[in-house]
Amino acid sequence: MRAPHIEKHFTAGLFVRDVVIGMADGLTVPFALAAGLSGAVQDTKLIVVGGLAEIAAGSIAMGLGGYLAARGDAEHYEQERIREQREVKEMPEEEKAEVHRVFEAYGLTSEESKPVIEALSHRPEAWVDFMMRYELGLEAPDPRRAVTSAATIAGSYVAGGFIPLLPYVVFSGNATRGLIFSAIVTLVALGIFGYIKGRFTGTHPLRSASQTVVIGGLAASAAFLLAKLIS
C-alpha cells in the first residue's frame, strides 16, 4: 500500500521575521551600549541601569514600529481590495484581460484560460481574491497581526537585551570583567541565534552565524573605542 504524500511547509514566516528583528537588535544594541559605557565608566550599576533603560525604550520603539508596519500593510491591502472590487464591477473586460495575462504568464493558452475566466466573472469576490493574490501578490493579513507583531518584536528585544547585561550583574563592581564575560556570552548567543536564523530562513547556517557575530562585534567595538576616545 502506498504511503500518503504529506507536504511539509514552513508557515511561520512572519513570526520568525519578527523574532529575528527583535532578537537581532536586542542582542546588538544593548551589547554595544554596555560596551560603550564600559569604555567610559567603571560603575557596573550605572552600566546596568543604562542598559535596562535602553532595553525599555528600545523594546517600546521596536514594538511600536512593528505595530505600525503591520497596520500599514493591512490598510494597504484594504485600499487595494476596494480598488479591485470597483474595477471588477465597472470595467470587467479590462479585468478579464488582466486575468488572461496572469494565466498567459503560466503558459496557458487563451482556449485553456477562457472557461476559468468566465467562471471567475460570475463569482465577484473570488475574482477579487484571485486578482489580489496573483496580480498584486497580496495576501489577506491576519486581523491580529499588528498586535502579535508588536508583542513578538518587543518580547524578543527584551529577551535578547538581558543577555549582554547579565555578566555586569554577576560581576558587580568589576566593569572590566563584566565587559569580558558580556562579550563572550553575547557573541556566543549571536552565533547561536545566527545559526538558528539561517536554518529557518534558508541561508547557510554557518554563514548566517558568522555574519551575525561580526556585525555584533563590530558594533560593540566601535562603541567601546569611541567611548574610550571621548573619555
* 98 lies in the same domain as 159: no
Nearest to 219 by CA among 231, 207, 211, 208: 211
Distance (Å) of CA 72 to CA 76, 77, 124, 169: 6, 9, 26, 40
Contact 223, 30 (CB under 8 A): no
Residue 6: the pLDDT is 46
- The parent domain of residue 31 ranges over 14-69+142-230
- With respect to residue 211, please indicate whether it lies within any of the assigned structural domains: yes
- With respect to residue 74, please indicate whether it lies within any of the assigned structural domains: no
- With respect to residue 126, please indicate whether it lies within any of the assigned structural domains: yes
Tell whether the model's pLDDT for residue 159 goes beyond 50.
yes
For CA atoms 222, 226, 228, 229, give the dihedral sign.
Answer: positive
Boundary residue ending a domain (135, 154, 177): 135
* 120 lies in the same domain as 197: no
Residue 59: the pLDDT is 92
- Sorted by sequence, the CB contacts under 8 Å of residue 202 that are 6+ apart come out as none
CB-side exposure of 52: number of CA atoms within 13 Å? 9
Mean pLDDT of the chain: 81
Contact 61, 158 (CB under 8 A): no
Contact 67, 147 (CB under 8 A): yes
Residue 227: the pLDDT is 65
pTM (2 decimals)? 0.74
Residues 32-45 have pLDDT tens digits of 888 888 877 788 88
- Domain count for the chain, please give it: 2
* 161 lies in the same domain as 179: yes
The set of cell numbers assigned to 178 is: 563584566
% of the chain beyond a pLDDT of 70: 91
Residues 122-141 have pLDDT tens digits of 888 888 888 888 788 878 78
Tell whether the model's pLDDT for residue 176 goes beyond 70.
yes
